Structure 1
Amino acid sequence: MSALFFLNGPRQTGAMPIQTVSRLDELDPQHWDALLPDEQPFLRHAFLCALEQSGSVGGRSGWHPAHHLLRGPAGELRAALPAYLKSHSYGEYVFDWAWADACQRAGIPYYPKLLVAVPFTPVGGARLLAVDDAAAGELLDGVVADVVSDDLSGLHINFTDAFADHHLRGRAGWLERLGCQFHWRNHGYRDFQDFLDALSSRKRKQIRKEREQVAGQGIEFQWRQGHELDEAEWDFVYACYANTYRVRGQAPYLTRNFFSLLAQRMPEAIRVVLAMQGSRPVAMAFSLQGGDTLYGRYWGCLAEFDRLHFETCFYQGIDQAIAAGLQRFDAGAQGEHKLIRGFEPVITRSWHWLAHPGLRAAVDDFLVQERGGVLAYAAEARDLLPFRRD
């Protein structure tokens, strides 16, 4: 049975049918955005549609939109899952390659699978969108039924918020997976120097030295919002972004048109810092701002400069967050190197429903051990934070 056959077709749950759509632009943006619980930008209709309409997802990307919707008696949107049929595990940042390899060795198909996530974006936030608890539970049960009937290997929900965690914890068959990221928190700092004063003397000197090394190369920084960049500057932003993949022999996930579409549709959320050497841009960092948080997403540099990555991706973002009165700077996944620069460990969660009982049991055993290791790692990392202890 084809895993794609049900797109745009309704499935009947115990109450209302669940619809699956392969194009988010078929939905009224206001109806979709009304389900969002906060101002985080990554699940906005404009952002997800820009991914689809730019060709960053769909086509041969291995990310096939399959958004699941629950409607009420009058056709009103009551719940939704931003979901994708996946034929690989690239661009997810919750790594299940070992599970897929084990399935291949055992002759169990692992792909396609259904993933609820923001493509290429390891940022926690709302995933289960619903007007109330009843709608949330009904949609979850209906989507699991779809996974079974369509012979998919499982359903995965990455980087969840407290609402989704509440509905998934203890629900039959769902397995919890923990991860650890590093986020910067604004503890009432007046400026960057105030932040430095909160650090130990040795770390304070290290950061000052790194910033001085960048300035000594004649590099200064300009911050722009989305509407303040012209297409030539967006060409530069994209060239930098794409280069971070090409130097590793990989193709970039996003297309050039994605950035233009996003600049047209949600320019107020875009923050780009350009590293300038004289009148020439040499590097950039692309972020989105929403609510009380700055989300650092993409960086790139077309030439090598000592310590420029730390300044562009971290210190400039901290400066911007303080100046804007933001409470948090999420600079993306990975990075113990963030720890010594004042980024604090944060536990992330993902949830996994696996159809094959043997696979589910094996993964459950693994996750019990992994969760203990992640919690111990986060506790150890917290002890290594560079803040003064007096």
Structure 2
Amino acid sequence: MPLHVAASLSAIDAAQWDALLPEPQPFLRHGFLSALEDSGSLGERSGWAPEHVLLIEEGQLVAALPSYRKWHSYGEYVFDHGWADACARAGIDYYPKLLSAVPFSPVSGPRLLVRRPQDGIELLRSLPGYLEAEGLSGAHVNFTDPALDELMADEEGWMERLGCQYHWHNRGYRDFDDFLDALSSRKRKQMRKEREQVRAQGIEFEWREGGQVSEAEWDFVYACYANTYYVRGRSPYLTRDFFSLLAERMPEAIRVVLATHERRPVAMAFSLLGGDSFYGRYWGCLAEYDRLHFETCFYQGMDYAIAHGIQRFDAGAQGEHKLIRGFEPVITRSWHYLRHPGLRAAVENFLQEERVGVMGYAEQAREALPYRQA
């Protein structure tokens, strides 16, 4: 079957797209990705031009690789700026490139959506010819799931890259105190002190599902989110319209916790729920309070996961400070296909060395976890 390309998810039937999703993770749903596009958060202005690669059989979508043509490497969380810089010095065009990822969200999960495994293999093996015809330097598939990892390992030319994140696991805790009982005495006291410091400042918390958030509250959520970029002299990736569109299309997946002081909202954390996992995505505050970030982004989410029987809490990329709060190191994977033979050889050598370092770091990071030794 020949490859098809869609420059917008609006050209793809939502029911056909969602029927290919192998698990209830929210980030690959038609509603989420189309909200990014329709809100203006994506597009050539942002350097993210939708370019979804498809296989269609008798009018039915049988395989899809949600993808974007990129002119930079921002918003990806698998950092290849060094590869691009090396190409610039050598006179090699690194951009544009093709990226399959969830824009601005470093969450592992399905990337290749298929009806049958052989459809996915056919799509992957058609990609090199497409890259050459389109003048793309390569293809990158970030934060993959085990099913795609297994498939990619057998495909010629694809190189695996490892990363490390920190996830919290709910081991059947009755409540937050039950979780604290699993920690060493010093760490247990530290977390209790942090939570008490927030309560002593008069901060209270209110949880909302997507359908319970008013437009005025979405204005506040966006102001907090955008402020995390403004304070660093950067522009936010997402537009204000994204939040309203997502609330229309996927309200059941949205969870927002509002931090209030004297009945006035001062901070928020925006999360998504899917299957047995809770995904903390965006946070922001409009006033500074001691330890508020840890409470809003971590402890409130852990409380929510325990209360609702959710097994895993992914609070976002990076942040070694998560280790001492019980978030465990987790290896992530991405896959890279580069057309230029010299660049491919150099990157392959780099990845072999990096892989050893990442695995060693993850093992060493476990020593910083606060759990009591058996």
> Where on the TM-score scale, by shorter chain, does this alignment land: which range?
over 0.9
Q: Secondary structure at the match of 2:345?
A: helix
- What residue in structure 2 maps to residue 13 of structure 1? none
Deviations 1:332-358 (A, max 9, x none): 000110000000000000000000000
Deviates more, 1:295-304 or 1:137-146: 137-146
- What residue in structure 1 maps to residue 53 of structure 2? 68
- Runs of 4+ more than 3 Å apart: none
- What residue in structure 2 maps to residue 6 of structure 1? none
Deviations 1:141-189 (A, max 9, x none): 1122101221211000000001111111131111000000000001110
Inter-partner Cα distance in structure 2 for 1:28 and 1:77? 9
- What residue in structure 2 maps to residue 338 of structure 1? 322
Inter-partner Cα distance in structure 1 for 2:67 and 2:56? 16
- What residue in structure 1 maps to residue 308 of structure 2? 324
1:102 aligned to 74, 80, 86, which one? Answer: 86
**2:65 is aligned with 1:45:** no
Deviations 1:31-67 (A, max 9, x none): 0000000000000000000000000001400000000
Structure 2: gaps (5+ residues): none
Deviates more, 1:166-175 or 1:122-131: 166-175
Deviations 1:8-32 (A, max 9, x none): xxxxxxxx11110011011111100
Say if 1:296 and 1:317, in contact at 8 Å, map to a contact too: yes
Deviations 1:293-347 (A, max 9, x none): 1000000001111000000000000000001100000000001100000000000
- What residue in structure 2 maps to residue 11 of structure 1? none
- What residue in structure 2 maps to residue 25 of structure 1? 10
Deviations 1:196-230 (A, max 9, x none): 00000000000000000001110010000001111
2:243 aligned to 259, 266, 271, which one? Answer: 259
Inter-partner Cα distance in structure 2 for 1:152 and 1:357? 14
Inter-partner Cα distance in structure 2 for 1:329 and 1:200? 21
Inter-partner Cα distance in structure 2 for 1:306 and 1:177? 37
Inter-partner Cα distance in structure 2 for 1:246 and 1:164? 37
- What residue in structure 2 maps to residue 226 of structure 1? 210
Query: Quick one: which amino acid aligns to residue 41 of structure 2?
Result: S
Q: Secondary structure at the match of 1:311?
A: helix
**2:262 is aligned with 1:275:** no
**2:185 is aligned with 1:201:** yes
**2:158 is aligned with 1:174:** yes
- What residue in structure 1 maps to residue 369 of structure 2? 385
Query: Quick one: which amino acid aligns to residue 42 of structure 1?
Result: F
Q: Secondary structure at the match of 1:60?
A: helix
Q: Secondary structure at the match of 1:109?
A: coil
Query: Quick one: which amino acid aligns to residue 268 of structure 2?
Result: M
1:35 aligned to 9, 16, 20, which one? Answer: 20
Inter-partner Cα distance in structure 1 for 2:313 and 2:176? 14
Inter-partner Cα distance in structure 1 for 2:128 and 2:333? 19
Query: Quick one: which amino acid aligns to residue 89 of structure 1?
Result: S
Inter-partner Cα distance in structure 2 for 1:60 and 1:68? 21
Inter-partner Cα distance in structure 2 for 1:349 and 1:257? 31
Aligned residues: 374
Deviates more, 1:145-154 or 1:101-110: 145-154
- What residue in structure 1 maps to residue 286 of structure 2? 302
Inter-partner Cα distance in structure 2 for 1:180 and 1:96? 15
Query: Quick one: which amino acid aligns to residue 160 of structure 2?
Result: E
Q: Secondary structure at the match of 2:41?
A: coil
Query: Quick one: which amino acid aligns to residue 9 of structure 2?
Result: L
1:383 Cα deviation after fit: 2.1
Inter-partner Cα distance in structure 1 for 2:359 and 2:127? 30
Query: Quick one: which amino acid aligns to residue 357 of structure 1?
Result: P
Q: Secondary structure at the match of 2:303?
A: helix
- The root-mean-square deviation of aligned C-alpha atoms, in Å, is 0.6
1:271 Cα deviation after fit: 0.3
Q: Secondary structure at the match of 1:283?
A: strand
- What residue in structure 1 maps to residue 117 of structure 2? 133
Structure 1 segment 210-221 matched on structure 2, within 5 A: 210-221=194-205
1:373 aligned to 340, 357, 362, which one? Answer: 357
Say if 1:128 and 1:163, in contact at 8 Å, map to a contact too: no
1:285 Cα deviation after fit: 0.2
2:299 aligned to 315, 321, 335, which one? Answer: 315
